[in-house]
Amino acid sequence: MNLNKIFALSLRHVYLIKGSFPRILDLIYWPTIQIFLWGFISKFFTLNSSYFENTVGIILSAAILYDFLFRSSISYNMMFLEEIWSRNFTNLFIAPIKLSEIIAALTFTAIFRTLIGLVPAAFLAIPLFGVSIFKIGPPLIFLLITLYLFGVTLGLLVTSGLVRFGPSFENIAWASLFFLAPLGCIYYPIEILPDWLQTVAKLLPLVHIFEEMRNVLIHDIISYYQILKAIFISFIYFVFGIIVFYLSYEGAKNRGTLINMGE
């Protein structure tokens, strides 16, 4: 892999963000709204329920982590959609770049976009609701890595669809995460799901990540075994995502959809 080419692809997106204040605002806006919304909802629950003393903390931490996953996936898709919308697709694919370099550039740049949105929101939650995601401690780093890996994987799968089927696949890009959210057990424990659905949910890394987050925040217990399991599952999905991307690219070359792809 050529680092200079990966840097060039990333630079294209950095220039795009840097050159547009509304774009930066858009990146920050949605995570912040999410924090406000969930912060007030969970505060209301705390006032009317004695179930958890730390309801606000748990729900808001879950909201921040879920948004991290959501943003990393959407960032990935958005960067690819930008190429389609700007009709730059052909230029990109005739440049001497390997697919692995495109994947690497999108993966590294997505973190940049994700953090622009999420860091302000995470810090805003501290004075507003007295909730700090950083209370999770060192396991937070591993949870974020796992979420990022899975978010990028979902991004890769949607991007594969865009390569293969063109812009008509765009709607799937927006819907992909909402489809998995109920199974991810983000705001509730896995026991809430029916037995058969629990088996399916365990195949996703999300359940292990959010269960672990609740373990740390409620019981102050850290299970690195669970975290490693989540990382391992995410990694398997990531490899699967890469394979699908390569297959989609070959499919697109066969169907001739890489040329003149645009809005």
Partner 1 sequence: MKLIVKNLSKNFKSTIAVDNISFEIDKNSTLGLLGPNGCGKTTSIGMMLGLITPTKGEILINGINLNSENRIKLLSLMNFASPYIELPKKLTVKQNLEVYARLYGVKEIKKRVEEMVEDLNLKKFLEKKTGELSSGQKNRVALAKSLINKPKLLFLDEPTASLDPDVGDFVREYIEKYKKKNELTVLLASHNMREVERLCNKVIMMKQGKIVDSGTCDQLIKKHGRQSLEDTFLKIARSKNELK
Which residues of the chain form contacts with partner 1 (CB under 8 A)?
Answer: 2, 4-5, 7-9, 11-12, 15-16, 19-20, 82-83, 86-91, 93-98, 250, 253-256, 258-260, 262
Given the complex with partner 1, which of 99 and 128 has the nearer CB atom?
99
CA-to-CA distance for 75 and 26, rounded, in angstroms? 12
Name which of 223, 225, 231, 224 is nearest 206 in CA terms: 231
Q: How far is the CB of 20 from partner 1 (least distance, A)?
A: 6
For partner 1, the closer of residues 68 and 93 by Cβ is 93
Our CB check for partner 1 shows the closer of 70 and 76 to be 76
In this structure, the number of other CB atoms found within 10 A of the CB of residue 22 comes to 8
- Can you spell out the DSSP letters for 47-64? HH--S-TTHHHHHHHHHH
CB of 218 to partner 1, least distance (A): 45
Cβ atoms of 235 and 213 closer than 8 Å: no
State the minimum distance, in angstroms, from the CB of residue 259 to partner 1: 4
What is the smallest separation between the CB atom of 248 and partner 1, expressed in angstroms?
Answer: 13
Q: Do 126 and 132 meet the contact criterion of CB atoms below 8 Å apart?
A: yes
Chain length of the chain: 263
Q: Which is nearer to partner 1, 17 or 124 (CB)?
A: 17
- Give least dist CB 7 to partner 1, A: 7
d(CA 55, CA 106): 36
**Token pair for 26:** 């858009």
Residue number, 57 or 166, with CB nearest to partner 1? 166
Q: What b/e sequence results for 44-73 when a residue is b if at least 16 CB atoms lie within 10 Å of its CB, and e otherwise? A: eebeeeeebebbbbbbbbbbbbbbbbbbbb
Using the minimum distance from each CB to partner 1, give the nearer residue, 32 or 257: 257
Q: Cα torsion for 231, 65, 176, 208, to the nearest 10°?
A: 40
* Minimum distance from residue 138 beta carbon to partner 1 (Å): 37
